[in-house]
Amino acid sequence: MTHNNMTTQTKSNLADGGRVILLCAPSHDELTEYTSKLLEAFPDLSVPTVLRKIDGPLTYGQLLLELELSTHQRAPDITLVFCGHAEPSALLVPAYPPGTQGHKNSLGPFYDNSYVDLGPTLMLAFCCSAAAGLGVSFEHRTAGRSFIGFKDDILILAEEGTYADCWRSILHRITSALMSISDQANLEKSVRKIYRDALAMFPADKDDVYDWGLMMRGALLQQQADLKVIVT
């Protein structure tokens, strides 16, 4: 079940230290409007799921307050899935509210090194370069946590239909693997198989069927090359 707002059941699960999937979907330009739609249709993983669309300034710390986590002694087991823009040291959201000058072009931090000690337990950073900075922080500063991200800029083919279905499947399957596999070697093996399966959907001999098949293969291969899986 996915909600923009917290339900009583989800709040109870958070308060009891239960498992929660937190889908963070900035939506403020062409790319993030596309990726936010992928999270809107996120398949059920039988875990309470909160979709938080972000169209203005917000930090991870502020989001924890919004979800009323700051009052609980037993921290919930949060899986954070972030789709949007990033730089090595931070996941990014709009720096200004909607309707103000610079809203689409000026970005500020949602999650940076100052929040690593606050969680989450599991993070999928489906964005550019976060593994080069935040991933290193997870590797050196945490224990019992997992991070999946990319070491460099990534390509995302922002097309609908089969292409969007493929990205949605990748996000869903990686999140499922992240939540079920605690061994780094097996987790990386699983994630790389997910990419092989995605590539198999767009073989070169079907380029007459998929107009953007070549570009999709290029995006998938580039993501696969820059993939970083960390288990501490």
> With a threshold of 0.85, does the pTM exceed it?
yes
Q: Calculate what percentage of the chain has a pLDDT beyond 90.
A: 80
pLDDT in tens, 102-129: 777 899 999 999 999 999 999 999 999 9
Whether 195 is covered by a domain: the verdict is no
- Mean pLDDT (the chain) is 90
List, in order, residues 6 or more apart from 13 with CB less than 8 Å away.
19, 20, 48, 76
- pLDDT beyond 70 at 57: yes
Whether 209 is covered by a domain: the verdict is no
The predicted model gives 187-204 an average pLDDT of 98
Token output for 158:
């922002």
Whether 216 is covered by a domain: the verdict is no
Whether 79 is covered by a domain: the verdict is yes
| Domains in the chain, number | 1
Whether 174 is covered by a domain: the verdict is no
CA distances from 81 to 98, 177, 186, 213 (A): 23, 13, 20, 26
Whether 231 is covered by a domain: the verdict is no
Better-scored residue on pLDDT, 178 or 1: 178
pLDDT in tens, 152-178: 999 999 999 999 999 999 999 999 999
Total number of residues shown for the chain: 232
What domain range is 139 assigned to? 2-158
Whether 52 is covered by a domain: the verdict is yes
Whether 14 is covered by a domain: the verdict is yes
pLDDT at residue 16 in the model: 52
Q: Which of 24, 10, 105 is nearest to 62 (CA)?
A: 24
Q: Within 13 A of 157's CA, how many CA atoms are on the CB side?
A: 24
